[in-house]
A and B are shown apart, each in its own frame.
Chain A
Amino acid sequence: MDAERIKQRLTPIFQDVFDDSALEVRDDMTAKDVEAWDSLTHVDLIVAVEKEFKIKLTTAEVRKLQNVGDFIRLIREKAA
C-alpha cells in the first residue's frame, strides 16, 4: 500500500478523533500541531488506526512515533 493511499485513509480518522473536519494530514505533523492531540486522544487514534488497517502496534512503536510520516511508514510496514 503506498503512502498516499494510507494518508487518504488516515484523514477521516484524524478528523474524527481530533474533531476537526478541516484537518489535513501532513507528513511533518506532530502532536504539537493539533490542539486536541493529547495522551488520551493519542490512544484513541492508535486504536482507530489499528481497526482501520487491521494491524496491531506495540507500546514501544507507539511511543517512538515522532510525526505522522513515521506513523505512515509504520502502518506500511505492518500492513504489508
Chain B
Amino acid sequence: MAGNSEWGTIQCSTPLIPQKSIDLDYRRLVRASKKLDSSGLSRTVRLAILSDAASQQFVPVLKTLFHENGVAAEIYEGAFDAIELETLDPASALYGFRPDVVVLATCTQALRLRYYQAGSLEGATSRVVQIWDALQHNSAAKIIQFNFPLPYDRPFGNYGLKVTQSLYPATAALNAQIAALAQERSNIFICDVESIASWCGRKYWFDERLWHLSKTFCHLEFLPLVAQTVVDIVLSTMGQIVKCVIVDLDNTLWGGTVGDDGHLGIAIGAHGDGEAFYHFQHYLLSLKHRGILLAVCSKNDRETALRPFVDNPDMVLKRDDITIFIANWENKADNIRTIRETLEIGFDSLVFLDDNPFERNLVRQMCPEVIVPELPDDPADYVRALSELNLFETAAFSAEDIARPELYRQEAERRELRSQFSNIDDYLASLEMKIEVARFEKTRIPRIAQLMQRSNQFNLTTHRYNEAECEFMMLDVEHCLPLYASLTDRLGDHGLISIVIVRPGEHELHITDWLMSCRVLTRGVEHCLMTRVVNFAKEKGLERVIGEYIPTAKNKMVQDFYAQFGFEKISEQDGRTLWRLDVNSYQPRKVYITENEYAWTQNA
C-alpha cells in the first residue's frame, strides 16, 4: 500500500529494479502500457480478470506494473459483470485462455446494488464459494479474490454495528467469512482491497461519479495501488519473496551511537526517545516470527555492537533473534555478499535497511539486486514506510517458516565461529560440545531405525535394520552392545547422530556397524566413540578390535576409516576390507567433547 499522489507521491520499490522506485501515477502507467516491449522478459503470466466493475482502466495499469516488475503479462479481460457466466461454463472463453491466475475483482458498489435489490447480503458468501468451486473444478489457476472496502453509508449511525443485516456490518462479516474460507484453500489469495481503501481513506476512495459514468470501482488515483497489490501476490506465488532483512544498528535499530553513548545510553525502550525504535524492533521481530531471517550489518567494533543485545534489558531484539551478526569496518556491500553466501539465498531476496543514505547508495550500486528502500528521516515512520512498500508478501505460512530463523542462526553462528579461530582445535573447544552415548533405548528406537535407513555416506557396512531388529539387539545384552550417540553444542541440539554396534567374540571385539550423520563430520565424535569401544574391549578382557568396511555406491568417504585409529588392514576382497587393532596400541586423540557418565550394561 502507499499514499496517493494528491496527498504525497506514491512510490514503491520492487525486487527486480529496487534502485528505481516505481512511480504509481495512473496516467504515467496508462501511457507506458502503450509502449511495452516484453521481449527482454523471461517470466510470463497468463492472467484473467473477471469483474463486476469496469476493468478497462485497471488492465493497462496492471500490465505496466507486471512489466516493470519483470513479468510479461498476457491478460484476458472478462465481459463486464459476467463472473458467474464465465466461471460456471466449462466451455467459456475464460477456460479457453488457460489462465495461470484468475483475479476476481469484485467491488463494493456492485455488492451494494445487490443488497438494495435483495434487502440483505444473504447468500453473498455462498456465491463467492460457488465461483471458487467452479474455477477450481475447471482450472488449476490460482485465484485472487478482492475483498470489499466497507461502505460509507451508515443509516443507523454508530448503532448500525448492532444491526447485523445492515450493509456496513454485513460487508465486514462477508470479508471475515471470505478470509476464513480462504484459509482452507491454499490456491486462493485475498487481495485486501479493504485495507488499501481504508489506508487511502474511504472518503477519497469511493467516487460515485466515476461509478455512475463508467463503473470505475474507485478513484483512478488508487487503481495503481490495487494493481501493484495484485502484482505483489502473483510474484510471491512465483517464489519471489524476501527471505532476509539486513539492518544497520546506530540510528536504525536504536537511537544514537553505541560506540559513543554506551550500551545503556542508546535510545531504545517502550517510552520516550526510544519508542520509535521499540516499535521498529517489534516489527522486525514479527517478521522473524513469520520466518524471515534477520541479519545485522554495522560499522562498529563487534563487542561494542553486540553489547546492547546482551546487556540492555530494553532491547526487543536479542542476540538469538539475529541469524548473522556482522559488525566491522569493512564496506557494507562486501558484508552483504558474505551474508548472502552464508545463507545461500539470492540477492533479490534480501532487504537492506540503513538510515544512512551513503550506505544505501553504496549497496544499491554494488549489489543492485538487493532491495534498498528509502527510510524516512523520522525513525517514528520506519514501520509505516516499510508497510507501505508491502515488501513481505508471501504465498504460504507453515511451522517450517517459524522454525527456520533458529536453524539458520545456529548454522550461521557455527560458521562465524569457525572463521574466528585460526585453528580447528580452538574452534572445536569453543563449541562446548556434549555427547551422550548409551545403549539403545526403547524411546530412541524410531530415530535409530530412521538413521539406519537414511545414512549412506558415513556408513561402514550399511546394514539396514528395522525397528524390530534394533529392539532385538537392544535386549540382547549377552551378545551385543548397540550404542547410539547424540550431540549438543552451545548453539543447538544436533539430536541422535551416530550408531555403533559391537559384538564380543572369544578374543576380539567385532564392530559390525558404524554410521554417522554427515552433519557432524570433523567434530571428533568418531574419536570419542572409538575410545569407548576400545575401553569396552579392555574391560571385557579382549585383546583386539576388528572392523569391517563393505563398499557401496555411496560410502567411499569411509573406506579408510579404520586406518586413522591405528587399525591394520588384514584382508581385502572385492573391495571389502577387514581391519584389526591391538587394544594396547590404541592412542586416543584429543577431543573437545564432554562425555556423559556411562555404564555398559545400561538398558531400557
Binding site for B on A (CB under 8 A): 16-17, 19, 39-40, 42-44, 46-48, 51, 57-59, 62-63
Query: Are the CB atoms of B209 and A44 closer together than 8 Å?
Result: no
What A residues does B113 contact at CB under 8 A?
none
- Give bound CA distance, A46 to B220, whole Å: 11
Whole-angstrom distance between the Cβ of B31 and the nearest chain A Cβ: 7
8 CB < 8 A contacts A-B: A40-B54, A43-B210, A43-B214, A46-B213, A47-B26, A47-B219, A59-B208, A63-B213
**Cβ of B30 under 8 Å from chain A:** yes
Contact of B56 among A40, A46, A47 (CB under 8 A): A40
Within 8 A of A (CB), among B17-34: 26-27, 30-31, 34
**Cβ of B203 under 8 Å from chain A:** no
Question: Residue on A with the closest CB to B5?
Answer: A51
Query: Are the CB atoms of A42 and B31 closer together than 8 Å?
Result: no
Query: Are the CB atoms of B31 and A44 closer together than 8 Å?
Result: no
Contact of A44 among B6, B30, B208, B212 (CB under 8 A): B30
- Give bound CA distance, A39 to B209, whole Å: 12
Interface of A: prevailing SS: helix
Take A16-B27, A48-B27 as given contacts and tell me if A42 and B209 are in contact as well, using a CB distance cutoff of 8 Å: no
Take A59-B208, A62-B209 as given contacts and tell me if A39 and B214 are in contact as well, using a CB distance cutoff of 8 Å: yes
Within 8 A of A (CB), among B457-489: none
A-B residue pairs, 4 tightest by C-beta? A43-B214, A59-B209, A47-B220, A39-B214
What A residues does B64 contact at CB under 8 A?
none
What A residues does B214 contact at CB under 8 A?
39-40, 42-43
Question: Residue on A with the closest CB to B214?
Answer: A43
**Cβ of B216 under 8 Å from chain A:** yes
What B residues does A43 contact at CB under 8 A?
57, 210, 213-214, 216, 220
Q: A19-B34, A59-B212 are in contact. List 14 more A-B contacts (CB 8 A).
A: A39-B214, A40-B54, A40-B56, A40-B216, A42-B214, A43-B57, A43-B214, A44-B30, A44-B57, A46-B209, A47-B221, A59-B208, A59-B213, A63-B213
What B residues does A62 contact at CB under 8 A?
209, 213
What B residues does A39 contact at CB under 8 A?
213-214
Question: Residue on A with the closest CB to B28?
Answer: A16
Whole-angstrom distance between the Cβ of B215 and the nearest chain A Cβ: 9
- Give bound CA distance, A48 to B213, whole Å: 15
- Give bound CA distance, A44 to B220, whole Å: 8
Whole-angstrom distance between the Cβ of A37 and the nearest chain B Cβ: 13
Question: Residue on A with the closest CB to B30?
Answer: A44
Query: Are the CB atoms of B213 and A42 closer together than 8 Å?
Result: yes
Query: Are the CB atoms of A16 and B31 closer together than 8 Å?
Result: yes
What B residues does A19 contact at CB under 8 A?
31, 34
What A residues does B57 contact at CB under 8 A?
40, 43-44
- Give bound CA distance, A42 to B26, whole Å: 15
Question: Residue on A with the closest CB to B207?
Answer: A47
Take A43-B216, A44-B220, A47-B219 as given contacts and tell me if A58 and B209 are in contact as well, using a CB distance cutoff of 8 Å: yes
Whole-angstrom distance between the Cβ of B216 and the nearest chain A Cβ: 6
- Give bound CA distance, A17 to B208, whole Å: 21
Whole-angstrom distance between the Cβ of B4 and the nearest chain A Cβ: 11
- Give bound CA distance, A1 to B54, whole Å: 35
Take A40-B56, A40-B57 as given contacts and tell me if A47 and B31 are in contact as well, using a CB distance cutoff of 8 Å: no
What B residues does A17 contact at CB under 8 A?
27
Within 8 A of A (CB), among B70-104: none
Whole-angstrom distance between the Cβ of B206 and the nearest chain A Cβ: 13
Whole-angstrom distance between the Cβ of A38 and the nearest chain B Cβ: 9
- Give bound CA distance, A39 to B70, whole Å: 32
Within 8 A of A (CB), among B201-244: 208-210, 212-214, 216, 219-221
Of listed A48, A59, A63, residue having the most chain B CB within 10 A: A59
What A residues does B26 contact at CB under 8 A?
47
- Give bound CA distance, A73 to B396, whole Å: 56
- Give bound CA distance, A77 to B385, whole Å: 40
Question: Residue on A with the closest CB to B212?
Answer: A59
Whole-angstrom distance between the Cβ of B435 and the nearest chain A Cβ: 72
- Give bound CA distance, A59 to B214, whole Å: 11
What A residues does B30 contact at CB under 8 A?
44
- Proximity string of chain B (46-65) to chain A, C-beta cutoff 8 Å, 1 when within and 0 when not: 00000000101100000000
What B residues does A42 contact at CB under 8 A?
213-214
Whole-angstrom distance between the Cβ of A47 and the nearest chain B Cβ: 5
Within 8 A of A (CB), among B155-205: none
Within 8 A of A (CB), among B29-45: 30-31, 34
Question: Residue on A with the closest CB to B6?
Answer: A51
What A residues does B220 contact at CB under 8 A?
43-44, 47
What B residues does A63 contact at CB under 8 A?
213
- Give bound CA distance, A62 to B30, whole Å: 22
Whole-angstrom distance between the Cβ of A21 and the nearest chain B Cβ: 11
Whole-angstrom distance between the Cβ of B3 and the nearest chain A Cβ: 15
What A residues does B27 contact at CB under 8 A?
16-17, 44, 48
Whole-angstrom distance between the Cβ of B77 and the nearest chain A Cβ: 12
- Give bound CA distance, A58 to B27, whole Å: 22
- Give bound CA distance, A19 to B214, whole Å: 19
What A residues does B6 contact at CB under 8 A?
51
- Give bound CA distance, A39 to B30, whole Å: 16
Whole-angstrom distance between the Cβ of B111 and the nearest chain A Cβ: 21
- Proximity string of chain B (4-15) to chain A, C-beta cutoff 8 Å, 1 when within and 0 when not: 001000000000
What A residues does B219 contact at CB under 8 A?
47
Question: Residue on A with the closest CB to B56?
Answer: A40
- Give bound CA distance, A69 to B70, whole Å: 44
Query: Are the CB atoms of A47 and B34 closer together than 8 Å?
Result: no
